[in-house]
Amino acid sequence: SRGEEPLTAERPPVSGLQDFLDTIQGKGSGYFGTADSFASARAGVAAHEAAISGERVMVR
């Protein structure tokens, strides 16, 4: 298989990312709710995306 195929069908939704999106809409746990943590939350999302990219490369 090609290394660029998306893994969405094989992976469940990322609960942390979903909580982050829910918090933006006012219905999450509030972990990412403060302005001070917003930058670190974005950094965490970027780190998660980088980790998935790394896994995708390693899976081929």
pLDDT (average), residues 50-54? 76
Tell me the whole-structure pTM to 2 decimals. Answer: 0.30
Q: Which domain holds residue 48?
A: 13-21+35-60
| Mean pLDDT, the chain, integer | 63
Q: Judge whether 6 lies within some domain.
A: no
Q: Judge whether 29 lies within some domain.
A: no
Q: Using an 8 Å Cβ cutoff, are 3 and 56 in contact?
A: yes
Number of domains in the chain: 1
pLDDT (average), residues 3-14? 55
Residue 59 has pLDDT above 70, yes or no: no
